């Protein structure tokens, strides 16, 4: 599946901003994903996937905490419902 140009541009823009702040970024090619199931070794995919359209209304800068009870923490939200 091809990544939309707008998403690639946003990723590149955010990466440049982080590097200007002296933060390191992942050098691997950008591969957007959504985690639908975690620790689901015995899960089986459905016979037919539902069709859906997902309109993005915001995004967030997240931090992985490594904690089971709160795996990720929102550092900053952007867009509808965000802070910036």
Each residue of 51-61: pLDDT tens digit? Answer: 888 788 888 88
Pick from 66, 56, 12: nearest CA to 34: 56
Tell me the pLDDT tens digit for each residue of 1-52: 788 898 899 899 999 999 999 999 988 888 887 777 778 888 888 888 888 8
Q: Are 36 and 43 within 8 A, CB to CB? A: no
C-beta separation of 7 from 33 below 8 A: no
The values of phi and psi at residue 75, to 5°, are -90, -40
Whether residue 16 is contained in a domain is answered as: yes
pTM: 0.51
- Domain count along the chain: 1
Query: Residue 8: inside a domain, yes or no?
Result: yes
Question: Which pLDDT score is estimated for 12?
Answer: 93
User: Which domain covers residue 23, as residue numbers?
Assistant: 1-31
């Amino acid at each position: 599946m091809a990544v939309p140009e707008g998403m690639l541009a946003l990723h590149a823009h955010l990466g440049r901003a982080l590097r200007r702040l002296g933060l390191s970024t992942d050098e691997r090619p950008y591969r957007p994903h959504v985690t639908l199931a975690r620790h689901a070794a015995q899960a089986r995919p459905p016979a037919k996937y539902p069709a859906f359209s997902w309109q993005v209304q915001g995004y967030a800068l997240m931090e992985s905490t490594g904690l089971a009870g709160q795996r990720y923490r929102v550092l900053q939200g952007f867009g509808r419902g965000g802070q910036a």
